[in-house]
């Protein structure tokens, strides 16, 4: 007699990442029995498609987790703090995308290409998935670290506005529409702000500065020492995922006028000598990494070329001129797919295989 397929619940199924999650679940191997779509009371009753079937969205209540084996959460931190433990207490393996539990020592922080074995060590019944910025580089860094021993990372991120949710994408579209056709804007200090104020008025923005015709050196909330929360997350999460407690990391996170796909310029120092040829060999063998590295012919990853796809793309691989055992490279990854939904889906598949015995 075949084993029962696990029941999956997607919490936050109507959001930007939830929409991508439904698409991913529908196109990957079907390892689930029932799939429940769960959201706030405001969205309950909506009918959405998953696996080609119409499914009614249920309200987030304790009872919704009855009979659920795996629950994937894509909700704000404060919602996860309340509801993830409830799901775990009612018997589900809770896979949480928020930052609430990432640094809890009793919660594994999992990237299936890097540390899949840690998913089984979940004393609280909770598994966490990293921030989308960290995830954009982790498959590549994990593969290189395994053979050459990563010691230091200096990273500058170029983060898409969809990392701030639906409101982030909507704001960039609004700003572009407001400025379109005006070839005088962007010529003098403050004219972009003034033009947006004239066209959009006091319309709320998730960003502290205009993002159209601009870059904003800020992502997240303010932390000690002037650091942004995204920068601290990248440091702490990289250490935990790679198992390097003393990994030296410094990051500057920048928001750019791109809808979806984060990019990172990475300066990586290793314990042992590593060449560009070594990096090509390792990264080309990594199953979820695509190497695009022929700058003489204009071949390197850009968000416009890789958005909507699942791999991590790596290019501009160079031997650092003044730093031993160091490579400089450029990484792109769709922040709504691998940076969010896909990693959680891959973790859920690991758990499903474990439950199947």
Tens digits of per-residue pLDDT, 204-221? 999 999 999 999 999 999
Examine the residue annotation and report whether 262 is marked as an active-site residue of this protein: yes
**94-98, 152-156, 241-245, 335-339: which range is least confident on average?**
335-339
Angle at 304 between CA 299 and CA 307, to 5 degrees: 110
Q: In angstroms, rounded to a whole number, what is the distance separating the alpha carbons of residues 194 and 22? A: 40
The residue from 253, 262, 280, 332 that is catalytic is 262
* This prediction's pTM: 0.93
Examine the residue annotation and report whether 253 is marked as an active-site residue of this protein: no
Q: In angstroms, rounded to a whole number, what is the distance separating the alpha carbons of residues 225 and 250? A: 13
Tens digits of per-residue pLDDT, 156-175? 999 999 999 889 999 999 99
> 246 exposed, middle or buried (CB, 10 Å; 0-12, 13-18, 19+)?
exposed
The residue from 132, 145, 253, 332 that is catalytic is 132
* Residue 233 structure tokens: 């997350």
Provide the pLDDT for residue 356: 86
């Amino acid at each position: 007699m075949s084993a029962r397929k696990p029941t999956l619940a997607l919490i936050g199924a109507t959001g930007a990442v939830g929409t991508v999650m439904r698409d991913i679940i529908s196109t990957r191997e079907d390892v689930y029995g029932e799939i429940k779509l769960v959201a706030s009371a405001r969205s309950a009753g909506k009918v959405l498609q998953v696996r080609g079937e119409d499914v009614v969205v249920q309200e987030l209540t304790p009872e919704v987790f009855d009979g659920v084996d795996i629950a994937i959460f894509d909700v704000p931190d404060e919602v996860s703090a309340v509801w993830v433990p409830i799901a775990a207490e009612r018997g589900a393996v809770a896979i949480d995308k928020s930052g609430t539990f990432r640094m809890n020592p009793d919660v594994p922080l999992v990237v299936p290409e890097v540390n899949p074995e840690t998913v089984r060590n979940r004393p609280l019944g909770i598994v966490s998935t990293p921030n989308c910025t960290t995830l954009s580089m982790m498959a590549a860094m994990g593969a290189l670290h395994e053979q050459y021993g990563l010691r230091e990372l200096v990273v500058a991120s170029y983060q898409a506005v969809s990392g701030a949710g639906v409101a982030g994408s909507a704001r960039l579209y609004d700003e572009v529409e407001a400025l379109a056709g005006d070839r005088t804007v962007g010529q003098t200090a403050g004219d972009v702000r003034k033009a947006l104020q004239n066209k959009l008025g006091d319309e709320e923005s998730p960003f502290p500065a205009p993002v159209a015709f601009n870059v904003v050196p800020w992502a997240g909330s303010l932390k000690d020492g002037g650091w942004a929360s995204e920068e601290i997350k990248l440091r702490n999460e990289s250490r935990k995922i790679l198992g390097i407690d003393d990994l030296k990391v410094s990051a500057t996170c920048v928001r750019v006028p791109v809808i979806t796909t984060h990019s990172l310029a990475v300066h990586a120092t290793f314990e042992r000598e590593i060449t560009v040829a070594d990096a090509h060999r390792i990264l080309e063998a990594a199953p979820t990494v695509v190497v695009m590295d022929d700058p003489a012919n204009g071949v390197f990853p850009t968000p416009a070329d890789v958005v909507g796809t699942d791999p991590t793309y790596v290019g501009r691989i160079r031997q650092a001129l003044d730093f031993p055992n160091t490579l400089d490279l450029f990484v792109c990854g769709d922040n709504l797919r691998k940076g969010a939904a896909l990693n959680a889906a891959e973790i859920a598949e690991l758990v499903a295989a474990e439950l199947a015995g």
